[in-house]
Amino acid sequence: MKQNDIPYERQIFVCTNDCGGEKASCGDQRGLDVFRALRTLAKERGLHPRVRVAQATCLGQCSMGVNVMVFPDNIWYSHVGLDEIEIIADRYLTA
Ligand code: FES
């Protein structure tokens, strides 16, 4: 095993998981679209790959989806809608 420094200035994890069945999940709330929109903005703003927007499977807060977690800021956004992507982008996807 080799220990390394994290190669990104910031990582934004967007849950895109679909739990299936009756259980609420981020996938039910358009998590994949939220992920794609944030990733697109990161690229458009020239931040990729310094800032990594990554899909996450379940983050353990399914009924609160779409869940977005931002590191190293240690911020968790829940109930994120597509109409709120710009707010997150303006906070964390800046040069
Ligand atoms: S499905 Fe997103 S936190 Fe579980």
Give the rounded distance of the alpha carbon of 46 from its chain centre.
17
Give the three-state DSSP class for 63.
Answer: helix
Residues in contact with ligand 1 by the CB-under-6-Å rule are: 15, 17, 19, 25-26, 58-62, 65, 67
Give the three-state DSSP class for 6.
Answer: coil
Q: CA-CA distance, 22 to 24, in Å (whole number)?
A: 6
Q: How far is the CA of 29 from the centre of ligand 1 (A)?
A: 10
Domains of the chain: 1-11+38-95 (3.40.30.10)
Q: How far is the CA of 57 from the centre of ligand 1 (A)?
A: 7
Q: Are the CB atoms for 17 and 64 separated by under 8 Å?
A: no
Q: Are the CB atoms for 78 and 14 separated by under 8 Å?
A: no
- With a cut of 80, say whether residue 95 has pLDDT above it: no
pLDDT score of 20: 86
Q: What is the pLDDT of residues 75-88, one digit of tens each?
A: 999 999 999 999 99
Q: What is the pLDDT of residues 57-79, one digit of tens each?
A: 999 999 999 999 999 999 999 99
DSSP letter for 30, please: T
- With a cut of 90, say whether residue 49 has pLDDT above it: no
Q: What is the pLDDT of residues 19-40, one digit of tens each?
A: 888 899 999 999 999 999 999 9
Q: Are the CB atoms for 29 and 71 separated by under 8 Å?
A: no
